[in-house]
Amino acid sequence: MDRMKRTPIKEQEPKVRAANFEEVCLGYTVEEAVAEASRCLNCKNKPCTSKCPVSIDIPEFISHIKESNFEEAAKALDKYTALPAVCGRVCPQELQCESKCVLGIKGEAVAIGKLERFVADWARENDVDLTKEIEKKGKTVAVIGSGPAGITCAGELAKMGYDVTIFEALHEAGGVLQYGIPEFRLPKDTVVKHEINNLKKLGVKIETNVVVGKTVKIDELMNDEKFDAVFIGSGAGLPKFMGIPGENLNGVFSANEFLTRNNLMKAFKSEYKTPIRPGQCVAVVGGGNVAMDAVRTALRLGAEAHIVYRRSEAELPARVEEVHHAKEEGVIFDLLVNPIEILGDEKGWVKGMKCVRMELGEPDESGRRRPQAVKGSEFIIDCDTVIMSLGTSPNPLIPATTEGLETNKYKCIVAEEETGLTSKERVYAGGDAVTGAATVILAMEAGKKAAKAIDEQLSK
Amino acid sequence: MYKILEKKVLAPSIFMMKILAPRVAKAAMPGQFIILRVDEKGERIPLTVCDTDANEGSVTIVVQTIGCSTRQMEGYEAGDFFYDFVGPLGVESELISEDKDELKKLKIMFISGGVGAAPVYPQVKWLHENGIKADVIMGFKNKEMVILEEEMKSVSNNVYVATDDGSYGFKGMVTNQLQALVDEGNHYDLVVAIGPMIMMKFVCKLTEQLGIKTVVSMNPIMVDGTGMCGACRITVDGETKFACVDGPEFDGHKVNFDEALNRSTMYKAEEAVKNTETYCAAGGIK
């Protein structure tokens, strides 16, 4: 075996998977996982761990896999993370843990994410019970939002003995794990449901269908329902539109709407009642992970699917693995292209999108080369559906209905970086609600830090 | 799970349900709505709050069967449960935050079309409880379809019922009734119109000519109802608004009704398919 090369992992054939919603990556077998784990050099200074936002002791859990002791590996992960089956699948490991793997200097980094996923899946399939006896503290914490930040914060607090209730606006817990990330990257009935059940096993109560700010306000939770502290993990779910003509034609959707219909409401299954219409030819505007999820969903629903992105391939913010998967499946990339108008037919339906070609100019403050329109390069992309995937911002509902909760000019809640404490006493916040749209693992890190700070505050 | 406490048929294909949802009952204000999901495979549908009883913890909704989900709901009885019931959503009616003495000086006319009488009722009732009497025009297809007339009479000044075919009350559309009242010399400072989008469009056309400020309650397609998807977006005064969080009430003279009407037909073909599927045609599975 070549130590510099990764143990290959099985995936569904591109042609087959482009027509179904089953998971693309099939995961390691026991033998493959042990082989891959054996590549780890067990570095003393653990550079991989230093780049993991929740500081998982990576060499430790991998060493248990090497010895085929998967239960110990699961326990080693559980010390640091509440969502290993999720993070093993959706973290951008190439920018985090795997980016610092020593093997990556001369060869391929250890497949840390795939190993994490293997352990979590093995533990689920073999009913490993990670619950321990917890001594109750007799104090209550309300967690707003059941996405990665809220789940992590709630899980950590429950393990410390707090009585935790999560309030979720939608009818299913999980946040973006439910409505945003599609089945083919993150299966719902197995992986997500299991992680939520683990939370319930810890004693966390989940109240769905509660829109905090409308159904109940934070001050009411603290004053009337006597919660000792509140953690806000309400995310950044407000979609952006371009503001170009034609954006309200029939057939134009936000990626959030398109993905919510498909993932949360399961519109791709005919026995579910929520309709979805991808049309014949779909143009997804944007280049992030959400754009990749939307375009691959449209493809699976039978459309010819395009990514329309104003910069070049090198600047695509999506994970390399997802771009690669999308290409294999037949997604067409229209790069250095920017829409300027959506064109409609006489009945008010999308019939095309007027675009301009772009070129990259000098780097801007963020270091990315600024795209500029090429004069006279207008052309039309024929399409009947347009999906806008331009990013999201935090919903202003909670700050607007909570007195004394400070926000910044991006409508993000202002919170201390190390503790998540907001401008309001005993109210903490973390994840996308504070940072704007970021990643699952960063939200988890924030949830974890806030849990620690809440414990310190309430233990005083 | 949300228990159905009471069910009453008000007219052919229109029924009232009282649902046990204490948090919603406590928080809901006139003008707001809820989102309901019948069962595990159900879609999320928006329905306006018609009445609440905070002590009992109940919320009353009025439903007209028009498609798959509402037909399925029709098959449910008191004692059955719906999977999900979330709210209150949207912004409460503007009237509630206005100075009550100023409101007393205004001559307010509410106009409802069909099942739109249900969302009009809590607003008129709220005004009544605050010592303000409003007039109401209620439009229906025919006598058989008249609903909530007694309830409305008990909380308002004058109630004018109009039917398209003249089988009861005034013969004609709500716009004809309004015009007739104005022709008789009545004056109105404010119109609040709630009903089918096409009715609200024509009310606005008329009140624009008459120079009466008009508020409408928009009913576009919704999914989450919390502002995270924009399915319900409409154009008001040239700007895109999300009806679920910025509305549902808007200045009717600034709403782009043609666009809104067009957007409401987006899933017509898909809905027709769902409607013909057996589990829907059967009238509900519990």
| pLDDT score of A230 | 98
Distance CA A92, CA A322 (A): 10
pLDDT tens per residue, range B116-136: 999 999 999 999 999 998 999
The minimal CB distance from B27 to the residues A169, A209, A215 is found for A215
Which residues does A208 contact at the CB level (< 8 Å), separation at least 6?
A168, A170, A171, A172, A173, B84
Of A178, A388, A436, the C-alpha closest to A287 is: A388
Cβ contacts (< 8 Å) between A215 and chain B: which residues? 23-24, 27, 86-88
**A82: confidence class by pLDDT, cuts 50, 70, 90:** confident
When CB atoms are compared, the residue of B43, B229, B266 closest to A239 is: B229
What angle do helix axes A320-329 and A289-300 make, rounded to 10 degrees? 20
pLDDT tens track for B169-180: 999 999 999 999
- CB within 8 Å: B42 and A348: no
CB A56 within 8 A of CB A134: no
Buried b (16+ CB within 10 A) or exposed e, B47-83: bbbbbbeeeebbbbbbbbbebbbbbbbbebeeebebb
Amino acid, res. A90: V
How many degrees, rounded to 5, is the angle at CA A177 between CA A174 and CA A180? 120
- Outline where B148-282 has alpha helix (H): 149-153, 174-183, 197-210, 243-246, 257-263, 268-276, 278-281
Residue B252 pLDDT: 97
Are B44 and A271 an interchain contact pair (Cβ–Cβ within 8 Å)?
no
Identify which of A211, A251, A392 has the shortest CB distance to residue B226.
A211
* Residue A415 zone, left/alpha/beta (φ > 0; ψ -120 to 50; rest): beta
Q: How far is B102 from chain A (nearest CA, A)?
A: 26
Closest CA–CA distance from residue B2 to any residue of chain A (Å):
11
Q: Which residues of B touch A (CB under 8 A)?
A: 23-24, 27, 37, 41-44, 68-69, 83-89, 223-224, 226-231, 233-235, 240, 245, 259, 262-263, 265-267, 269-271, 274, 279-280
Q: Which superfamily does A241-390 belong to?
A: FAD/NAD(P)-binding domain (3.50.50.60)
Report the number of secondary-structure helices (H) and strands (E) in chain A: 18, 16
A385 contacts in B (CB within 8 Å)? none
Query: What's the sign of the alpha-carbon dihedral B43, B48, B49, B50?
Result: negative
Nearest CA in chain A to B239: A243
Percent of chain B with pLDDT over 70: 97
**Distance of residue A111 Cα from the nearest chain B Cα, in angstroms:** 35
What confidence score (pLDDT) does residue B283 get? 46
Report the alpha-carbon distance of residue B42 to residue B60 in Å, rounded. Answer: 20
Among A395, A431, A435, A180, which Cα is nearest to A290's?
A: A180
**Per-residue pLDDT tens over the stretch A163-193:** 999 999 999 999 999 999 999 999 999 999 9
Lowest mean per-residue pLDDT among A32-36, A72-76, A128-132, A223-227: A128-132
CATH of domain B94-217: 3.40.50.80
Q: Which of B29, B223, B256 best tests the A interface by mutation, with the highest count of A CBs <10 A?
A: B223
For the domain made up of A140-237+393-459, the CATH class stated in words is alpha beta
Q: Chain A contacts of B23, Cβ < 8 Å? A: 210, 215-216
pLDDT class of A196 with cuts at 50, 70, 90: very high
Chain B environment of A247 (Cβ under 8 Å): 240
Instruction: Provide, as residue numbers in chain B, all residues whose Cβ is less than 8 Å from the Cβ of A211.
Output: 86-87, 89, 226
Question: How large is the average pLDDT for residues B74-84?
Answer: 95
Tell me where in chain A the CATH 3.50.50.60 domain(s) lie: 140-237+393-459, 241-390
Contact B41 A272 (CB under 8 A): yes
The CATH number of A14-125 is: 1.10.1060.10
Chains A, B: CB contacts within 8 A come to 111
Average pLDDT value for residue range B100-107? 91
The rounded distance, in Å, linking the Cα atoms of A177 and A173 is 9
Give contacts of A347 with chain B, Cβ < 8 Å.
Answer: 262
Q: How many whole angstroms separate alpha carbon B132 and alpha carbon B125?
A: 9
Instruction: List the single residue in B85, B231, B234 with the smallest CB-CB distance to A257.
Output: B231
pLDDT 10s digits, B11-21: 999 999 999 99
**Backbone phi, then psi, for A227, in 5-degree steps?**
-75, 140
Instruction: Say if the Cβ atoms of B245 and A348 lie within 8 Å.
Output: no
A437 touches chain B (CB under 8 A): no
Whether residue B285 has pLDDT greater than 60: no
Q: Pick from A170, A238, A274: which is nearest to B227 by CB?
A: A238
**To probe the interface with A, which of B226, B234, B246, B278 has the most A CB atoms within 10 Å?**
B226
Angle between helices A193-201 and A148-160 (to 10 degrees): 30
CB contact under 8 A, B228 and A248: no
Question: Quick check: A254 and B223 CB within 8 A?
Answer: no
Q: Over the Cα atoms of chain B, what is R_g?
A: 18
Query: What values do phi and psi take at A163, rounded to 5?
Result: -90, 105
Cβ–Cβ under 8 Å, residues A420 and A446: yes
* Residue among A171, A247, A261 minimizing CB distance to B37: A171
Query: Where are the strands (E) in B108-189, listed by range?
Result: 108-113, 135-140, 159-163, 170-171
CB-based contact A215 B23, cutoff 8 Å: yes
Chain B residue with the nearest C-alpha to that of A234 = B228
At A318, the pLDDT band (50, 70, 90 cuts) reads: very high
Who among B87, B269, B274 is closest to A215 (CB)?
Answer: B87
CB atoms within 10 A of CB A52: 24
Whether the pLDDT of residue B213 is over 70: the answer is yes
3-state secondary structure of A103: helix
Task: Judge residue B39's burial from the number of C-beta atoms within 10 Å of its C-beta, 0-12 exposed, 13-18 middle, 19 or more buried.
Answer: middle
Contact B150, B161 (CB under 8 A): no
Query: CB count, 10 Å around CB of A283?
Result: 31
The shortest C-alpha distance from B41 to chain A (Å) reads 5
In chain B, residues with a C-beta closer than 8 Å to the C-beta of A392 are 228
pLDDT band at B280 (very low <50, low <70, confident <90, very high): low
A347 at B interface, C-beta within 8 A: yes
CA separation (Å) from A112 to A4, A5, A88, A185, B47?
14, 13, 8, 17, 48
pLDDT at A164: 98
ipTM: 0.93
Token match 């205004």: residue?
B106
Which residues in chain A are classed under CATH 1.10.1060.10?
A: 14-125
Residue whose pair of structure tokens reads 């006896």 in the numeric block:
A133
Q: Do B224 and A395 touch (CB under 8 A)?
A: no
Q: What is the band of A2 on the pLDDT scale with cuts at 50, 70, 90?
A: confident
Q: Residues spanned by CATH 3.40.50.80 within chain B?
A: 94-217
CATH topology of domain B2-89: Elongation Factor Tu (Ef-tu); domain 3 (2.40.30)
- Which residue in the set B88, B227, B263 is minimally distant from A397, CB to CB? B227
- pLDDT value at A132 more than 90: no
Q: Which has more confidence, B282 or A279?
A: A279
Q: What angle do CA A233, A235, A241 make, to 5 degrees?
A: 165
The model's pLDDT over B87-96, given as tens digits with 9 standing for 90+, comes to: 999 999 999 9
